[in-house]
Structures are given as structure tokens and as C-alpha cells.
Amino acid sequence: MKIAVFHGSTRVNGNTEYLTYQAVPKEKGTHIYLRDHDIQPIIDKRHAPEGFPVVEDDHTQLIDQLLEHDTLVFSTPIYWYGMSGPMKTFIDRWSQILRDDSYSHFRVALKEKNVYLIIVGGDHPRVKGLPLIQQFNYICEFYGMTLKDYVIGQARRPGDIVNDQVALTAASTLIHID
């Protein structure tokens, strides 16, 4: 099992990150912190005659890493009841990848991926985070990825997550790492 974790938080060592390490310790997976990468917002050129322009940023490098792993963990704080902007921007650009001849295998390759979600919020995340789970489920369905499971943590202030014993336990048993 090769695990890639995509961290959507913009804060270093935040609650979401802490919870995620219970699921995938630092040394057990490839941890990618989206905040450390330059990812430009998509400009929808799917229907433009010239197609998408080449974008000089880190996106394709991250996609390459994604493709090298069979298990994908998307870890994001709940920002305004959705995934973080950086994670949304990262995923929006998949539309460009789908039109990129160098990645014609992208969609088929994703079909083999197992996906886990870890989301953390401060405002009733066990209920108000459900649309985000549903959104990710649709993303997985689109690609034929398997949404294996998810953990929803509750935390508002830094460090709060240590009090969500249920989430910590759930995270620590989320993925059966060899």
C-alpha cells in the first residue's frame, strides 16, 4: 500500500494535521502540504479552440505524485462548510489534466485508487460537514475511485482535536497500514 496524503490546511501543525497523523504517521506515507506549493486557479478552457495553456506551477508534479500511490487521503479543515480553497483549487485543475494529452491515462488510473477523507471543523462538523462528504463522494464516483471511509473531527482552537477522542480513535483505525 502506497499512501499519499494531501493536506489542505493553510496552518502548520493544525488540528486537521494532527488528526491525520493518527491515520497516517509522517513516516508511513507521502505527505503533501498543498500550502507549500504554487497551484494556480483553473481557467476553464475546456471549450476554447486553443485549449488550456501550459501553466507554470506545481500542479502536474503533484498529479504525478498522486498517480504513484494507490491510496489517497484528502485531509482538509472545513472552511465555510467546504474543503479549503487550496484543496478546491487543486482539484479544480483536474479538469485541465483530463484534457492534457500527457495525462490521457489519468481518469483510468484514478479508478484504481482508494480514497479516505479526514475533515475537521468547529461548527457542528458531524452534521454540517456532511455536504462535504457528499461532495467528495460525487468526485470519487465520477472517477470510479472507491471512497473507503472518512473521519470527521471537531476542533475550533489550536490543539482542541486532542479532546475528540472518538475522532482520534476512528482515525487511528481508519487505514490498515501494512
92 binds a copy of itself (CB under 8 A): yes
Q: Among residues 65 and 89, whose Cβ is nearest to a copy of itself?
A: 89
CA distance 52 to 44: 8
**Range in contact with a copy of itself (rule: CB under 8 A) among 21-29, 65-73, 80-88, 102-110:** 80-88
Least Å from the CB of residue 105 to a copy of itself: 20
Q: Which of residues 126-145 bind a copy of itself (CB under 8 A)?
A: 126-128, 130-135, 137-139, 142
Binding string, residues 146-175; x marks residues near a copy of itself by CB under 8 A: -x-xx------xx------xx--xx--x--
Residue 127 in grid coordinates: 452534521
Site for a copy of itself in 8-67 (CB under 8 A): 9-11, 14, 35, 41-45, 47
Cβ-based nearer residue to a copy of itself, 27 or 89? 89
Residues 82 and 135 sit within 8 Å (Cβ to Cβ): yes
Kindly report each contact of residues 128-132 with a partner whose C-beta sits within 8 Å and lies 24 or more positions away, as own/partner: 128/78, 128/81, 129/78, 129/81, 131/81, 131/82, 132/78, 132/81, 132/82, 132/83
